Amino acid sequence: MTSTLPTTAVEAAEETPPRPPRATRGARVREAVAAWTFLSPNLLLLVVFLFVPLAWTVVLSFQRARSFGPAEWAGLENYTRLLGDGVFWRALLNTVVFTVATVPLSVLLGLGLALLLDKALPARGLFRTIVYLPIVVSTLVTSLVGLLMFDESIGILNGLLSDLGIGPVSWQTDGALAMVSVVVMTLWTRVGFAMVIYLAALQDVPEEVLEAAKVDGASPWGTVRHITVPLLRSSTLFLVVVNVIWSFQIFDIVYVMTNGGPGYATTVLVTYAYEEGFGAPRNFGYGATVGVVLFVLTLLITLVQFRVDRRVSGEEA
């Protein structure tokens, strides 16, 4: 099993053994030309809309550039400002808090539900469908429904609580509670995906191993903990990596539900970059600098996680 991430790509690419060299030189050249022709539309799009913008983001971060005005070199000005910018640090902290709250919960809840819904159960298909449904609901709908739930004055949750005689909860004016509301709606959209991945992986857990554990007198919980969960390790790694990346890139739900507020209590890196670049400041240079930070962090996190994974699998071997 390989995950979609590049560290394993080299191994994946070598799955097919090279064809014995019986093709003539001309045939090989023709095949290479055909291959590049097939690749070219894709690579062209990637270069124009991804690699050039990536390089340009780095360039912009060293420039003074507002909207479409002329850009001039600014050296490290943007980065110096970043270091002393309280809002940036707050956004970074919030992003980390959001990530720490959403990633373990998404993965654990997904695992728990997959274990519950793996074996035969009445209405199992219906249960699965209900947990999957939020995956296909757009983040905008999720956010607006989130507002409907968490609206302080006329929202559904406070309505239900007031029926129970509990006073209005300040979901929107209390910073920590606003963060909770964003986390809850994010989990709603993500747990289904983790469950899909785990359910697929559970198909590969050999029945005999579980039977053997039972015969040896292992408790059901012990079997899950010491046999099933370790066997699902590569899925867990994949889920942790993609969930961390998604959490670091969170934008839609925060932007619509809280717009970073109250104050800067839920401002995250991308809402801050958007605000700087496309909001009133129209500061392309500074917005790009936040973008560079986002990119570097994404890269670092992925590398660290693969490092950890290598070490863990090394110990097991």
Partner 1 sequence: MPTWLRFGVCTLVAVVFAFPLYAMVVVAFTPREAIFDGGSHLWPTTWTLGNFRNLFDTFPIGTWFANSLVVAGLTTLISVAVNLAAGFALAKLRFPGRTWVFVLVLSTLMVPAQAIMIPQFKIVSGLGLFGLFWAVILPSASTALGVFLARQFMLSIPDELLEAAKMDGCSTFGTFWRVVLPLCKPLVAVMTLLAFMGQWNDFLWPLITLRVPDLYTLPVSLRFLQGQYDADYGGLMAMALMSCLPLLVLFVLLQRYFVAGLARSGIK
Window of 84-92, 153-161, 210-218, 304-312 that interacts with partner 1 by CB under 8 A:
153-161
DSSP letter assigned to residue 20: P
**Rule CB under 8 A: is residue 291 a binding residue for partner 1?**
yes
Position 234 contacts partner 1 (CB under 8 A): yes
Which residues, 26 to 65, sit near partner 1 by CB under 8 A?
Answer: 28, 30-32, 34-36, 38-39, 41-43, 45-46, 48-50, 52-54, 56-57, 60
| Segment contacting partner 1 by CB under 8 A, of 83-91, 95-103, 144-152, 205-213 | 144-152
Q: How far apart are CA 265 and CA 160, in angstroms?
A: 26
Give the residue with the Cβ less far from partner 1, 6 or 263: 6
- Cβ count near 247 (within 10 Å): 23
DSSP H helical ranges for 119-155: 124-136, 139-150
Distance CA 121, CA 11 (A): 39
Q: Based on the shown chain and the rule CB under 8 A, indicate whether residue 231 belongs to the binding site for partner 1.
A: no
* Site size for partner 1 (CB under 8 A): 112
Asked whether the beta carbons of 109 and 191 are under 8 A apart, the reply is: yes
| 3-class state of residue 159 by DSSP | helix
Amino acid code (one letter) for 94: N
91 in Cβ contact with 269 (< 8 Å): yes
By CB under 8 A, the residues from 241 to 280 that bind partner 1 are 242, 245, 248-249, 251-252, 256, 270, 273-274, 277-278
| Nearest-approach distance from CB 311 to partner 1, in angstroms | 21
173 binds partner 1 (CB under 8 A): no
Q: Of 273, 287, 289, 275, give the one whose Cα is nearest residue 61.
A: 289
Q: Site residues for partner 1, window 69-128 (CB under 8 A)?
A: 113, 116-117, 121-124, 126-127
CB of 290 to partner 1, least distance (A): 8
Closest distance to partner 1 from the beta carbon of 200 (Å): 4
Q: How far, in Å, are 304, 316, 317 from residue 311 at the CA level? A: 11, 9, 10
* Chain Cα centroid distance, residue 208: 35
Taking the complex as a whole, the smallest distance from the CB of residue 6 to partner 1 amounts, in Å, to: 4
Nearest distance from residue 247's CB to partner 1, in Å? 11
Cα separation, 156 vs 148, whole angstroms:
6
Q: Which amino acid is at 30?
A: R
Nearer to partner 1 among residue 101 and residue 277 (C-beta): 277
Instruction: Give the range of 6-14, 87-95, 175-183, 306-314 binding partner 1 by CB under 8 A.
Output: 6-14
Please give the Cα distance from 262 to 180 (Å, whole number).
Answer: 13
Q: Residue 184 CA to chain centroid, in angstroms? A: 15
Identified binder of partner 1 from the candidate list 74, 78, 82, 134, rule CB under 8 A: 134
CB of 302 to partner 1, least distance (A): 6
Q: With binding defined as CB under 8 A, does residue 170 bind partner 1?
A: no
Output the smallest distance, CB 172 to partner 1, in A: 11
Beta strands in the chain (DSSP E): 63-64, 72-73
**Which of residues 164 and 215 has its CB atom nearest to partner 1 in the complex?**
164
Task: Say if residues 131 and 192 touch (Cβ distance below 8 Å).
Answer: yes
